[in-house]
Structure 1
Amino acid sequence: MRGKLLVETAPMLRPTTALALLAVVTVTAFAAKPEKPARPEKPVRPVKEFVPAKPAFTADPAVPAFDEKAAVPVHLDTSMFKVPEGLEISVWATSPMLFNPANMDVDHAGRIWVAEGINYRRNSGRSREGDAIRVLQDTDGDGKADESHVFVREKELECPLGVAVFDNVIVVSNTPNIIVYTDVDRDLKFDPSVDKREVLLSGFEQPQHDHSLHSVYAGPDGRWYFSNGNCGAQFTDKSGNTFRIGSGYLNNTYVGEKSDDGHVYVGGFTASMEPNGHNARVLGFNYRNSYEGVKNSFGNMFLNDNDDPPACRVSHLIEGGSFGFFSRDGKRQWRADKRPGQTTAIAEWRQEDPGSIPAGDVYGGGAPTGMCYYENGALGDKWKGLLLSCETGRNVVFGYLPKLDGAGFKLERFDFCTTNTTGVFKGSDFVGGKDNMSDESHTLFRPSDVCVGADGAIYVSDWFDKRTGGHMDTDETCSGTIYRIAPKGFKAQQPKISYDTTEGQIAALKSPATNVRHSGFVKLKEQGEKSLPAVTALLNDENPYIAARAVWLLAQMGEKASLRIRPWLESDDADKRLVAFRALRAAGGDLLDLYNSMAADGSAAVRSEVAVAMRDVPFAQSGKILVELAKRYNGKDRSYLEAWGIGCTGKEAEVWAALKKAGNGTAAEDWSDAFAQATWRLHPVAAVEDVKARALSAKLSAPQRKLALDTLAFTQDPSAANAMLAVAKDKESPIHGDAMWWLINRSTNDWNEYNIAGELKAQGIFDPDAIKLVTIEIPPAGESLVKLEDVLKLKGDAKNGSSLVVRCVMCHQINGQGVEFGPSLQGWGLSQPTDIIAQAIIDPSKDIAHGFDGVEILTKDGLKIHGMVLAEGDVFIVRSMGGQTQFVPRKRIANRTKMTRSLMLSGSQLGLTAQDIADIVAYMRQAE
């Protein structure tokens, strides 16, 4: 055992033991709780009055009023679409039955409700009476909508980004408010004299902004879920708890402040609440702009997130997790902390930082929107467990069949529905070119949302435009379409669901449509014991998702009902154990005995759920459990490590001390990789000396030493800074450059009070007065000798282009060669039109890539340095052409100016002819 700090896995708890514990748990959970000693009153923190931000755009009289009757709508022919074998796509509804569909939902009768965005951004006021929530229906069952009317239209509605329907309750997400309309007389038309309207929650920043409030949807636990982008929010739930979630995107006044639950949340976020607005919780945070998410009947959550620049993702959400777009205080965007050698995908989601959960499928540029999860319906068992995510920038609805992988998921992407199989995209930010617009019909498909219908078919709404992203829309007709994807020859049969009977409520709970299921859940729960036999019978349903829905409900129907899920908790099927555990936890109560027993479960997914449940449990009750969970970390499962780290929140030092004690004094150099990673994740001050010893040890590999160095970098204490200085003294060390980068970077933020610059000089590591700087100047490009139109006339030779592209490696990386200075070219050309690639080579200054703006530094002794600033503080780290890096003391800088031209050499400067450029373009269009 010597040298291994994390010990062998203990045998699983025997079923009889867990059964006994469940009996105790279920009684305890629903019995009256014993009185606890009164906690000392905490000082009341004054809540800042929320002042709604001014709309980004206000109604402009110059904007022509939209005339629905005069508009000449457009939609794509279904022959342009590619869908999986055996399925077919058809037009279910199109303009003028609906316009600019931003979001949609399905009710129990199969009607589709649409949130329209005629007044989107610069066209605010185009619909003079405000935007609408519209209801569409297929009354004759021929597979096409034949009836459409407005449920509500208000001037306050300005491109609402969400609509959700729960029986006769319609929830609209319209920043700054979540608005609840109750259709009292059930006539599908809002009448303020009869029906009810309530602002459920308010305080979401930036009306008329894509990065603000998104749609509400139900989870299998009976709660409502929603997401908000990184514009920020300061809202108070109906229980009186205030959440302050800001970021450096708009520099909200409350950025970095704790919410009333004691945690700091930043950036975009996912939250849940009870349907009455009570007991809100933040479940995930630090996104850029997650447009929508899903929570399936197993309780697994998935979301998508927007790029900045190309690093869009579809991800599995671990409760309480951060995705790393901003620093943990929310004040620095990811570019400020991008480390040398990191790719955009790694840096943007801080995948090498402790406390950032795995980003999932990072697929590059795009503009993701709506999501759904198919569990049952018309598509059949082949597609059971299908995750769908709309991608407007790529003219596609992505499909995934998530596979459990330890505590996380493998997310293998495929095109479920697309008009564009070329891999060349237009009219999206990531393509480049501020004026870039789609000019071919196959690039006009902009899927804004996707839902599973009450009939079990898939429905996709199309915004339809030449442009997506950049807060733009160009389609003056406001055309929109809803497509249906179903098996060939499918005949829709809308279920006749009555919420007044147990049978109807069970039918609702079994519905393919997420929010219909919620209404069934609520009605069955209200019935209590009367519905118990029918709900229990669902436990044996052959569809595991339907059976799981019954488990969540039974857990909330009292002690007698919860005992009926006992076989699931003891099942050999890890999914069943996980669902039962999650359901009991969602129901509430004292579950400490259950947590203790499940900490020894054989499934990493189950144990990670136990881990996140420990986040707000004091060390006295959770310490033993967290140590037990750590012993079962295999040193490879990042999702598990992050879930465990979330459980250790606020008690990192105590957990680490207990783990070290369990290692019986193992020397730092002999730590297992698993314990070294656990230390990195917790980075307590008490570990500094041991971690320093590992960083300095020549016995360890460079990656092991670098992990130790990174552990120091995330430790907020002067001792960590001193340890980093000790590492930087060894200029022959393989991690010397990393230590220097960390010292200079941290001197501008987390360690800015530790006099890093002074210590670097005092210890003889770096003397800003003695450093020798050199001039590095990019020559002006001058007028190009090659014209774009000349290149586009030529046929390229990809083979010759593979040789010519070597001229680019002094600034770019491609095929494993080159310098990390300009954007990586690996795979870039696959998603770019020919003219964009050619223009970037001819004149790189025409459209400078995100994050690669140049700076001209003029020193006091007359040196001129052109490059990118990697870190800024008392010392600037500047990287120039060829990857040459210089450390420039601030006090030696006379002037710093943002360059208006690119740092990259033009095609003419590289000596490329029109044919050469055509050859390079041909190569890049096929290079993997």
Structure 2
Amino acid sequence: MGYKKIKGGIICVCLGLMLVASGCLQNKQDYERLSDQEKRSAEHALAGLETRDGLKTTLFASEDMLVNPTNMDIDGEGRVWVTEGYNYRPSLNPENPTKTDGDRIVILEDTDGDSKADTSKVFYQGNDINAALGIMVLDNRVIVSRSPHVFVFYDDDGDDKADRKEVMFSGIQGEQHDHAVHAFVFGPDGKFYFNFGNEGQVLKDADGNIVTDEFGNPITDEGNPYRQGMVFRSDRDGSNVEVLAHNFRNNYEVAVDSYGTLWQSDNDDDGNKGVRINYVMEYGNYGYTDEKTGAGWRTRRTGMAEDIPTRHWYQNDPGSIPNLLQTGAGSPTGILVYEGDLLPEVFHNEMIHADAGPNVIRSYPVEKDGAGYTAHIEDMLKGNKDQWFRPSDVTVAPDGSIFVADWYDPGVGGHQMGDQQRGRIFRIAPEGSEYKVPEVDLSTTTGAVEALKSPNMNLRARAWLKLHEWGTDAEEQLVKLWESDDTRYRARALWLLSKLPNKGISYVEQALSDNNPDIRITAFRAARQLEVDIIPYVEQLVDDSASEVRREAAIALHHNESQRAAGLWTDLAMQHDGSDRWYLEALGIGAAGQWDRFFVAWSDAVGSEWNTPAGRDIIWRSRAEAALPKLASIIKDPLVNSNEKPKYFRAFHFHDSPEKSEHLIGILQGQGDLQNQQELNLMALKQLDRSALQRSSVVQRELENALTAAKGTQEFLDLVEKFELENQSQELLTLMQSYPDSSLGIRASQLSLEYGGRELIMSVLDEGAEQDKMKVMTVLGNTSTPRSIELLEQYSLNEQNQLAMRRHAITALGSSWGGEQRLVELVKSGIVPEPLHAAAAEGLSDSWRGDVRQLAKTLTGEAQEQQADLPPVTELVSKEGSPEQGKQIFEQSCQICHQVNGQGTQFGPALSEIGSKLPKEGLYDAILNPNGGISFGYEGYTLTLEDGTEVAGIIQSETGSEVVLLMPGGYTSTYSKSEISGREQLERSLMPENLHSGMSQQELVDLVEYLSSLE
């Protein structure tokens, strides 16, 4: 153990853990002896963090200088610019105070050289930037991202105060939402890169007009062609916007390296361990929703992956770009590419990323893998002891050190904010590395080129602007950099040289023959930004030895209408080896919109030798009409592994040709072995529709066979729904009675009521055995459609029916939102007779709404529910609980809505790793105040149907024609948009209020103890 004197205390180095305090915290026991308030203080901020060996974390700034940092940038002078989020979602956190003058942008500076900020000045304050999610500083401009606007603030007189502002973009949705517009970064090409998550929805210019991209597409998420979150590139004035990729959930920031390669993280639907890291392939679809329909990832489909992360991102679909890396559960935030050399070599030229969920800063070293990449995880800084550590951003300083913004809060995600008093900025650097900002001289070409080498993005951007302004006057110094040994320096020089008037193309052509494939890629990307015909350069690279270079050539053919494009694409496609998904998707991007002519050219070239792994890949990925017969041939080929055939059936989903159904009908006439042919027929039938049934005797025959083989399964129900069958009421009734409390029985009930089964159901209710009646009532109660509610209401109020059965019907009526709503109306209007009061109370007693539970008690004359007095959370967290007892309580009280390690119901977020995400304070708050923090994607909605019925749940999936609602209990119901007259987001969580009221204090403590053990 070593010690060093520092200002304000002593540094203690213990097993790689950097602990800073007013005294020496020598071990874990010393830290644990601190009170919670002491642990949360800035004085002990470092004691709860663990830093990688060889690095040292120091506290640069903390509360009083700033609070709640949401994003930051570091300028060339080493000053840290921070956007604050004190006024974070005030409408959803009404108990939190707000600053009436709005949130701030503060500038933090170390003026005395002790590696700590000693001044904090306010650059701007206003309610228009409340909880801004992005900031980029560039000369006298500060670009701030805060939906619905992207602002450009100007400091005209150099006094570090905003003098004026302009709107660059407007109309972006997601105000006060984490999935809105995020930070801008300056690319090596002099362009701006930025993104928004899936709440952004639309990009408008300063005048409120929807922006169109270079292909004339409106930039909206309506599927024409873009969906969900997007990443953009634009000129520095916001013009010439390109959509570089789409269909992300919440791509929080984009990082761009010197070659112009883009990297992002993306957050999953909370609790599904599906957080991912992406290499961003231009024009790529990243698969958060179905490319064709926009359906959510839980939607049943052929070829659906078994594991949730793969299923979550539609990775089995042709047209979905592969994920680089899955990182599990998390709440990813800021990301960068570290192109410095101060940190250990493992971090050189790699992504460095903040993930606020697991309280970690980490890197993802990347290796090339064919036309794509592989990566692994290297941790840098972890909040192992302090789960309030919530890193919101990472930035590189001019000296190459890493700065980390810490939002600091007991929770993360959802719509909640638990702490408004704190916020920290940390610095990570090697041992003994004090914060010294290098001196630069941007007044000379030599100094500007030196600044272009900086690891700091702001300094590089300023140098780029100077060198670009000087043009040929800077050429000599840029050529020296271009001729250096450092590949990334060479790339930076090349971008600028490529933009020299009348000379740029000669440097590009020189670089296209370079020995380094990354330089060839850079040159080709630079050429694409010039006003030149790109086809000759594609011809030069079409046989390149590096598949990643050929990848770029394929992408460049996207919407290129040259007569030579199809032939070049064919040359590239002939080099696909059948095992490189990255390369295959690049081919798909290149052929988009021109598949028919590209595919015909390839087919002519490959001739009869198409049925190879590579050929089948291209056919699977193709959207050409001419691919359909080959798809059918692959499916019918007995030599193709039967486990692979679902993926080829899935490929039919992406074709719109009227010939599609004929090829599928042809599959039904196959002569394979019985079991295999039955499986093929089932998949083929699920791709057909009622019109095929009406015109084809083959479809009619094989549908009957498939229905017989699939009885008792979801596949049977798929066929009933697909072909709108009205002759399967008896089998549907059997499923209803066999599975009254599962999705299988509920879906059977929905289909039966829709397709002619009402009379059969009524006959059971009128004449069936008592047990059969009760099962039917139970499943009708769970079904929650206007038809099921009507049946239960009529039966329960009919005095000719047995009282016991009427009571069961009225209890079942209260099982769903729509039924509960109707039952409340009946009770309040006095229609429910006294003999049914107890049954009605039973049906309403489990409502998530406190007022409904109270109404239930009035029916039975019980005392009104009283909230148990609990000590404050600060006292509860210090109490010891039993995780074993807590597990039992969870299984009794929580498992009806949540899963842990696959056990339980998928309604609310899965909680398998909740202990690594929330400290005990956050867990108590989530239980005691469920309305304070609703996870994004789990908000409740009520749908009002045309007949006035209301249904409620979580919107699991939405397409252009239907909405799938996930109900409490994990059931789903599908509603056509034509039958929905309105929708409204619920202000409250669907988690029951006062869930803990039925628990003793110790049981609550035990439950939290169990949840905190889930990591």
Q: Tell me if both proteins adopt one fold, taking TM over 0.5 as the criterion.
A: yes
1:359 positional shift? 2.0
Separation in structure 2 between the aligned mates of residue 330 and residue 922 of structure 1, nearest angstrom: 37
1:216 positional shift? 0.7
Cross-structure match for 2:411: 467
Larger RCO of the pair (alpha carbons < 8 Å, separation 6+): 1
Cross-structure match for 1:698: 638
Cross-structure match for 2:234: 273
1:538 positional shift? 1.0
User: What per-residue deviation string (whole Å, max 9, x for no partner) do you get for residues 494-519 of structure 1?
Assistant: 12334332233223211111132122
- Equivalent residue runs for 1:220-299 within 5 Å: 220-236=188-204, 242-243=210-211, 255-256=221-222, 258=224, 264-299=225-260
**Does 2:730 match 1:769?**
no
Residue 157 (structure 2) aligned to one of 175, 185, 206: 185
Separation in structure 1 between the aligned mates of residue 446 and residue 436 of structure 2, nearest angstrom: 18
SS in 2 for 1:266: coil
**Does 2:251 match 1:308?**
no
- Equivalent residue runs for 1:475-514 within 5 Å: 475-477=419-421, 479-514=422-457
Cα separation, partners in 2 of 1:756 and 1:108, compared to 1, 3 Å: farther
Matched-pair contact (CA < 8 Å) for 1:122–1:472: no
Matched-pair contact (CA < 8 Å) for 2:81–2:105: yes
Matched-pair contact (CA < 8 Å) for 1:266–1:330: no
User: Which 10-residue stretch deviates more, 541-550 or 529-538?
Assistant: 541-550
User: What per-residue deviation string (whole Å, max 9, x for no partner) do you get for residues 549-604 of structure 1?
Assistant: 11111111134455346554323322222222222323342232111110110111
Matched-pair contact (CA < 8 Å) for 1:244–1:257: no
Gaps of 5+ in 2: 1-39, 708-724, 742-777, 779-811, 816-841, 847-875, 925-929, 941-954, 977-988, 992-1002
Residue 155 (structure 1) aligned to one of 98, 104, 127: 127
Separation in structure 2 between the aligned mates of residue 406 and residue 212 of structure 1, nearest angstrom: 34
Residue 209 (structure 1) aligned to one of 177, 195, 212: 177
Matched-pair contact (CA < 8 Å) for 2:508–2:524: no
Cross-structure match for 2:324: 360
1:621 positional shift? 2.9
SS in 1 for 2:357: helix
**Does 2:106 match 1:134?**
yes
Residue 541 (structure 2) aligned to one of 587, 594, 598: 598
Aligned length in residues: 766
Separation in structure 2 between the aligned mates of residue 884 and residue 735 of structure 1, nearest angstrom: 32
User: What per-residue deviation string (whole Å, max 9, x for no partner) do you get for residues 23-43 of structure 1?
Assistant: xxxxxxxxxxxxxxxxxxxxx
Residue 402 (structure 2) aligned to one of 458, 468, 473: 458
User: What per-residue deviation string (whole Å, max 9, x for no partner) do you get for residues 867-889 of structure 1?
Assistant: x9999999999999xx9999999
**Structure whose residues are more often helix by fraction:** 2
Matched-pair contact (CA < 8 Å) for 1:324–1:349: yes
Matched-pair contact (CA < 8 Å) for 2:201–2:220: no
User: What per-residue deviation string (whole Å, max 9, x for no partner) do you get for residues 667-724 of structure 1?
Assistant: xxx7011111111111322222222222123332113422321222221233323433
Separation in structure 2 between the aligned mates of residue 314 and residue 586 of structure 1, nearest angstrom: 27
Cα separation, partners in 2 of 1:874 and 1:548, compared to 1, 3 Å: closer
- Equivalent residue runs for 1:422-571 within 5 Å: 442-477=386-421, 479-560=422-503, 562-564=505-507, 568-571=511-514
Residue 586 (structure 1) aligned to one of 517, 520, 529: 529
Separation in structure 1 between the aligned mates of residue 71 and residue 906 of structure 2, nearest angstrom: 40
Cross-structure match for 1:863: none
Separation in structure 2 between the aligned mates of residue 411 and residue 198 of structure 1, nearest angstrom: 40
Matched-pair contact (CA < 8 Å) for 1:712–1:723: no
Cα separation, partners in 2 of 1:762 and 1:872, compared to 1, 3 Å: farther
Cross-structure match for 2:31: none
Matched-pair contact (CA < 8 Å) for 1:83–1:416: yes
Q: Which amino acid aligns with 1:272?
A: R
Residue 614 (structure 2) aligned to one of 670, 674, 689: 674
- Equivalent residue runs for 1:81-120 within 5 Å: 81-120=49-88
Cα separation, partners in 2 of 1:500 and 1:185, compared to 1, 3 Å: farther
Cross-structure match for 1:318: 281
**Does 2:334 match 1:334?**
no
Matched-pair contact (CA < 8 Å) for 2:899–2:912: no
Separation in structure 1 between the aligned mates of residue 150 and residue 515 of structure 2, nearest angstrom: 42
User: What per-residue deviation string (whole Å, max 9, x for no partner) do you get for residues 272-326 of structure 1?
Assistant: 1110122110101111111101010022210011211322111110000011112
Separation in structure 1 between the aligned mates of residue 515 and residue 961 of structure 2, nearest angstrom: 59
Please tell me whether Structure 1 or Structure 2 has the larger radius of gyration of its CA atoms. 2
Matched-pair contact (CA < 8 Å) for 1:346–1:352: yes
Cross-structure match for 2:839: none
**Does 2:379 match 1:406?**
no
Cross-structure match for 2:772: none
Matched-pair contact (CA < 8 Å) for 2:915–2:1011: no
Separation in structure 1 between the aligned mates of residue 219 and residue 256 of structure 2, nearest angstrom: 32
Residue 568 (structure 2) aligned to one of 601, 605, 625: 625
User: Which 10-residue stretch deviates more, 640-649 or 337-346?
Assistant: 337-346
**Does 2:360 match 1:396?**
yes
Matched-pair contact (CA < 8 Å) for 2:665–2:684: no
SS in 1 for 2:703: coil
Cross-structure match for 1:383: 347
Matched-pair contact (CA < 8 Å) for 2:316–2:647: no
Cα separation, partners in 2 of 1:182 and 1:627, compared to 1, 3 Å: same
Q: Which amino acid aligns with 2:615?
A: F
SS in 1 for 2:50: coil
Matched-pair contact (CA < 8 Å) for 1:460–1:484: yes
User: Which 10-residue stretch deviates more, 313-322 or 555-564?
Assistant: 555-564
Separation in structure 1 between the aligned mates of residue 66 and residue 880 of structure 2, nearest angstrom: 40
Matched-pair contact (CA < 8 Å) for 2:357–2:916: no
Matched-pair contact (CA < 8 Å) for 1:297–1:548: yes
User: What per-residue deviation string (whole Å, max 9, x for no partner) do you get for residues 442-488 of structure 1?
Assistant: 110000100001121100000000111112111132x1110000111
Matched-pair contact (CA < 8 Å) for 1:538–1:547: yes
Gaps of 5+ in 1: 1-71, 246-251, 259-263, 422-441, 840-844, 854-867, 890-899, 903-913
Separation in structure 2 between the aligned mates of residue 144 and residue 494 of structure 1, nearest angstrom: 13
Separation in structure 1 between the aligned mates of residue 172 and residue 371 of structure 2, nearest angstrom: 32
1:852 positional shift? 14
Separation in structure 2 between the aligned mates of residue 290 and residue 658 of structure 1, nearest angstrom: 37
1:636 positional shift? 1.2
What is the TM-score of this pair, normalised by structure 2?
0.67
Cross-structure match for 1:350: 314
What is the TM-score of this pair, normalised by structure 1?
0.72
User: What per-residue deviation string (whole Å, max 9, x for no partner) do you get for residues 148-207 of structure 1?
Assistant: 111111232221111101121111112122111222211211234xxxx22122221132
**Does 2:337 match 1:373?**
yes
Cα separation, partners in 2 of 1:573 and 1:819, compared to 1, 3 Å: farther
Separation in structure 1 between the aligned mates of residue 963 and residue 134 of structure 2, nearest angstrom: 45
Separation in structure 2 between the aligned mates of residue 157 and residue 87 of structure 1, nearest angstrom: 35
User: Which 10-residue stretch deviates more, 306-315 or 119-128?
Assistant: 119-128
Residue 115 (structure 2) aligned to one of 115, 140, 143: 143
Separation in structure 1 between the aligned mates of residue 1012 and residue 158 of structure 2, nearest angstrom: 61
Cα separation, partners in 2 of 1:732 and 1:149, compared to 1, 3 Å: farther
User: What per-residue deviation string (whole Å, max 9, x for no partner) do you get for residues 329-380 of structure 1?
Assistant: 5643323355555322112211011111012222232211111111014225
1:544 positional shift? 2.4
Q: What percent of counterpart residues are identical?
A: 28
Aligned-pair Cα RMSD in Å: 4.9
